[in-house]
Structure 1
């Protein structure tokens, strides 16, 4: 079973479908993932996107494979306003990228240049 389209609700729909196939209750999956049943329900409804670390625990609780995990990370990245290629980034970095995209038009050119310089200094 694989997600076929890439919208916010599909992450939750995929998780819910897999849970139902397992004949498991939300509370069982939530407990196994170390999160509340209410939070897990919000994820399944598509009203929130969990951080990658939480998503990994949910994937483990559902017994999903590496391919499904990769696809779910891509869906989560898209939900956060990132690109599919950003799916493997740490939560802090992906959050930074999403913030920069939202604020891009309001950023002064000088600030953007300084930020790029600092990033290049760190990465070299």
Structure 2
């Protein structure tokens, strides 16, 4: 199981919120070293700590766990759909054309 992706997603969402590790540590009551270890995949937080981190970042567990859940692609599709909604119709069409091309040339 690819548990390191949990920390990578936590880091990704922390950076998207323009937070430093120090900011997240302060907001959660965790040490900066511990936050760094979680982000590097060296530690998997206990459930209570995980929930504290998610609440501090304002995110849900599914977006952090999408790479380790069996139905993670459903979650990724939803995230991708949300990102597409912010684009113009022309930009959306370009992306859909690329996706269609990739599907046509994929190993079936």
Query: How does the TM-score come out when normalised to structure 1?
Result: 0.50
Q: 2:31 matched to which residue of 1?
A: 36
Q: Which segments of 5 or more consecutive residues in structure 1 lack a partner in the other structure?
A: 1-5, 85-124
Shift in Å, 1:8: 1.3
Secondary structure of the residue aligned to 1:12 is helix
Q: Distance in 2 between matches of 1:71 and 1:28?
A: 21
Match of 1:69 among 58, 61, 70: 61
Moved over 6 A (4+): none
Question: TM-score when scaled to structure 2?
Answer: 0.57
Instruction: Give the deviation of 1:73 after TM superposition.
Output: 6.0
Q: CA RMSD in A?
A: 2.2
Superposition map of 1:2-21 within 5 A: 7-21=2-16
| Structure 1 residue 71, shift from structure 2 partner | 5.1
The answer to whether the Cα contact below 8 Å between 1:18 and 1:62 also exists between their aligned partners in 2 is yes
Q: Give the SS at the match of 2:19.
A: coil
Structure 2 runs not aligned, ≥5 long: 71-108
Partner residue of 1:46? 41
| Cα deviation, residue 32, structure 1 | 0.7
If asked which structure has higher relative contact order (CA below 8 Å, sep 6+), I would say 2
- 1:82-93 matched pairs, under 5 angstroms: none
Tell me how many residue pairs correspond in the alignment: 70
